[in-house]
Structure 1
Amino acid sequence: MKAAYLENGQIHVGDAADPEPKTGQVLVRTHRCALCASDAHFFCSGPHVVEMSKKFGGPYASVDLSQPIIMGHEFVGEIVDYGPGSRRPLKTGTRVTSVPIMRQGGQTGIIGYGAGLPGGFGEYMLLDEDFLMEIPIELDDDQAALIEPLAVGLEHARAGAPQPGEVPLVVGCGAIGLGVIAGLKLKGIGPIVAADFDAGRRELALKMGAEIAIDPRERSPYEPLPEIGGRRVNLVYENVGKPGMLNQIITSLPFGGRIVVGGFCLEPEEIYVAAAQSKRLRINFAAGEEPQDMELAMRSIADGRVDVRPWLGACIGLDGVGDALVKMNDPASAVRTVVDPRT
């Protein structure tokens, strides 16, 4: 098959071995795969990510960077075949997506981060038949590729256990932050405050359902906000992943506040523990999505409750993957570029 793969710190396009499904595994032909910020992180800092996972524990400890890595975990594809002895829950030809996890055929790992688990930047993938989700006919491939990133934001929103009457703040309005806003809106929580340096991302935050979008260079989102009667935020979703951000939130929140950390910070983070203790703050580190979040994301896109079309940028072929990963660091770029490996 053709694939865009990471090798020696560079993205190459060429031939790769066709994956062969084992029992419980599904061979899928990829229709679309969106580029995620974690793909960009791994492209730029793969050795560091693997080293830190081995040292402190993490999902990338088993990644072998001496082998080509076919990334891509926000995907939609078509079932081609099953491994021998599989249950075959859906017919061949069915469009599907899945949480990017494999637990079948003697393999356990994250799809797109291992030599034996090629991701969506290749023509074919292996999925776990226990996690398959059939795509509704009303969803086109581009929208279906955004189910997974929306689901991550929904999980983060859920992790904060937001309650009616609270004022949440979403810091960082990339795909995950926008997904958090969507998740809060689905729960009827508000008013929602968003903060981002980029004007385009603040506009998207308002489209997703935030009532207030603030440029932190102009005013602090932690001060009493006149637009909502002088109330202050008490629940913060951090989606930036930069050193110093968590401590800034800790020192800015009022007594009894809560923090959900979803940003993927690759550097050590220093916090002043006494400040968090004296305010009785609660800090939760959010993780990836669960099947329930994927299901809600798919249903909410399909029935129109969440419109992810403003997230979409260009649809590119495999030859454009390397350049698109570099451009993801620019906040002016589209929230999601999608890849069609068939072109």
Structure 2
Amino acid sequence: MRAAFFREAGKPLEIGTTADPTPAPDDVIIAVQRAGICGSDLHITQYGAAPSGTVLGHEFAGEIVALGSAVQGEWKLGDRVTALPIHACGECDACDKDLRALCSSNVFTGTGLARPGAYAEYVGARASTLQRLPAGVSFEQGAMVEPLAVAHHAVSMARIEKGAAVLVIGAGPIGAAATLFARLAGAGHVVVSERSDVRRQRALEVGATAAIDPVAENLGERFRAITGRAPEVVLECVGMPGLIQEGLAVAGVRARIVVVGVCFEEDRFHPLTGLTKEASIHFSQCYHERDFEAVIGLLASGKADARPLHTQTVGFAELPTAFEALRTAMGQCKVLIDPRG
């Protein structure tokens, strides 16, 4: 099969071929119809956080083409699916609490050689992690379920009350999705802070009540002018040093700051800023299968429209260039890969 390989930091992905995968007893093989490029994939290649030869890609949807010998029951060839890209041990404290994404031994699909990802024609997945795609959910939507689930989980952790004033920092794929789910959760105001005018407009398309350019305006003052109060919930969806402190600084009394952005660098914030407000900081790392189920249900019912987030689809020929362009292409949101394109 064809696949895109990460070789070393600073070098573009390399398109090549490798043997078609065969399923382990508890696995299935999925013919990838669409795969998503994630910001964490960009970080992995920037920092060389995966071994040479890794096939990236943990956001995907496709059809089952092979079943492991132990897979029985509801799954059959041709089923349309996505999957949680999780391979947990099943025995640790996190797994005992049904928090497999937090398993200390977990291996995410597409982050190493043991579990090649979906930048390929085929990808393996544990049958226990599969999620069925209803007829009304396209493969494009199915490939976006994973990042949507990240945002859904973060919004669930935020415990947004009806009518609440919410600040979303960043309007990339996760920030835009968090905006969508915050509105669905009943927030009265969902104000997005974003430097890119294209992304600010996209945030408005998915439900933001207002969008602020934090370079041109004072974020705290402008938020209060729009909503009449300070944020009761802050969703940090960028992952750059300094943004936790920014969220604390603008947040209101007993506000909840949920950190969703993945920061690969050391960061600092002033505890006194949060102490004087009794603010709380929560880190939202991933998701639960219930988040996948909820997102698929919202897509199928039409209550959630993720189409504005999908900005481009590329084939393998375009993939290395498109991947590198995402490091600076602020106008893009979710770029999908068509392995057969």
**For this pair of structures, how many residues does the alignment match?**
325
Report the alpha carbon displacement of residue 233 of structure 1 after superposing the two structures with TM: 1.4
Uncovered stretches (5+) of structure 1, i.e. residues with no partner: 48-62
Task: Report the Cα distance in structure 2 between the residues aligned to 1:80 and 1:94, rounded to whole angstroms.
Answer: 8
Contact 2:310/2:334 (8 A) holds in 1: yes
Q: Summarize deviations over 1:148-201 as a string: whole Å, max 9, x none.
A: 111111111111111123211000011111111111122112211111011111
Letter in 1 for 2:158: G
Task: Report the Cα distance in structure 2 between the residues aligned to 1:88 and 1:31, rounded to whole angstroms.
Answer: 24
Within-5 A mapping of 1:141-180: 141-180=139-178
The answer to whether the aligner puts 1:97 opposite 2:82 as a matched pair is yes
Task: Report the Cα distance in structure 1 between the residues aligned to 2:282 and 2:307, rounded to whole angstroms.
Answer: 30
The corresponding residue for 2:5 is 5
Contact 2:163/2:186 (8 A) holds in 1: no
Moved over 4 A (4+): none
Q: Summarize deviations over 1:223-244 as a string: whole Å, max 9, x none.
A: 263333x222121100111111
Instruction: Identify the match of residue 202 of structure 1 among 200, 203, 213.
Output: 200
Q: Summarize deviations over 1:39-84 as a string: whole Å, max 9, x none.
A: 111111124xxxxxxxxxxxxxxx5x1x410001110011011111
SS in 2 for 1:192: strand
Report the alpha carbon displacement of residue 104 of structure 1 after superposing the two structures with TM: 8.3
Report the alpha carbon displacement of residue 278 of structure 1 after superposing the two structures with TM: 2.3
Letter in 1 for 2:134: P
Letter in 2 for 1:232: A
Instruction: Identify the match of residue 315 of structure 2 among 299, 307, 317.
Output: 317
Report the alpha carbon displacement of residue 289 of structure 1 after superposing the two structures with TM: 1.8
The corresponding residue for 1:79 is 64
Task: Report the Cα distance in structure 1 between the residues aligned to 2:332 and 2:310, rounded to whole angstroms.
Answer: 6
The corresponding residue for 1:333 is 331
Contact 1:184/1:190 (8 A) holds in 2: no
Report the alpha carbon displacement of residue 249 of structure 1 after superposing the two structures with TM: 2.0
Contact 1:27/1:81 (8 A) holds in 2: yes
The corresponding residue for 2:36 is 34
The corresponding residue for 2:191 is 193
Contact 2:26/2:127 (8 A) holds in 1: yes
Task: Report the Cα distance in structure 2 between the residues aligned to 1:313 and 1:168, rounded to whole angstroms.
Answer: 25
Task: Report the Cα distance in structure 1 between the residues aligned to 2:135 and 2:254, rounded to whole angstroms.
Answer: 45
The corresponding residue for 1:44 is 46
Task: Report the Cα distance in structure 1 between the residues aligned to 2:26 and 2:14, rounded to whole angstroms.
Answer: 30
Letter in 2 for 1:115: L
Task: Report the Cα distance in structure 2 between the residues aligned to 1:319 and 1:117, rounded to whole angstroms.
Answer: 24
Contact 1:23/1:104 (8 A) holds in 2: no
SS in 2 for 1:209: coil
Report the alpha carbon displacement of residue 329 of structure 1 after superposing the two structures with TM: 2.2
Q: Summarize deviations over 1:268-290 as a string: whole Å, max 9, x none.
A: 00111222222211000011121
Task: Report the Cα distance in structure 1 between the residues aligned to 2:37 and 2:81, rounded to whole angstroms.
Answer: 18
The corresponding residue for 1:277 is 275
Task: Report the Cα distance in structure 2 between the residues aligned to 1:195 and 1:325, rounded to whole angstroms.
Answer: 25
Report the alpha carbon displacement of residue 17 of structure 1 after superposing the two structures with TM: 2.5
Contact 1:243/1:268 (8 A) holds in 2: yes
SS in 2 for 1:13: strand
The corresponding residue for 1:18 is 20
Within-5 A mapping of 1:210-289: 210-223=208-221, 225-228=224-227, 230-289=228-287
The answer to whether the aligner puts 1:112 opposite 2:110 as a matched pair is yes
Uncovered stretches (5+) of structure 2, i.e. residues with no partner: 91-104
Q: Percent identity?
A: 31
Cα separation, partners in 2 of 1:69 and 1:205, compared to 1, 3 Å: same
Task: Report the Cα distance in structure 1 between the residues aligned to 2:277 and 2:6, rounded to whole angstroms.
Answer: 45
SS in 2 for 1:323: helix
Task: Report the Cα distance in structure 2 between the residues aligned to 1:220 and 1:163, rounded to whole angstroms.
Answer: 26
Contact 1:39/1:325 (8 A) holds in 2: no
Which range is displaced more, 68-77 or 131-140?
A: 131-140
Contact 1:43/1:325 (8 A) holds in 2: no
Letter in 1 for 2:269: I
RMSD (Å), alpha carbons: 2.0
The corresponding residue for 1:293 is 291
Cα separation, partners in 2 of 1:222 and 1:319, compared to 1, 3 Å: same
Task: Report the Cα distance in structure 2 between the residues aligned to 1:235 and 1:199, rounded to whole angstroms.
Answer: 23
SS in 2 for 1:157: helix
SS in 1 for 2:219: coil
Task: Report the Cα distance in structure 2 between the residues aligned to 1:7 and 1:294, rounded to whole angstroms.
Answer: 31
Contact 2:230/2:250 (8 A) holds in 1: no
Letter in 1 for 2:70: G
Cα separation, partners in 2 of 1:333 and 1:211, compared to 1, 3 Å: closer
The corresponding residue for 1:308 is 306
Task: Report the Cα distance in structure 1 between the residues aligned to 2:3 and 2:89, rounded to whole angstroms.
Answer: 23
Report the alpha carbon displacement of residue 313 of structure 1 after superposing the two structures with TM: 2.2
Contact 1:24/1:104 (8 A) holds in 2: no
Normalised by the length of structure 1, the TM-score is: 0.89
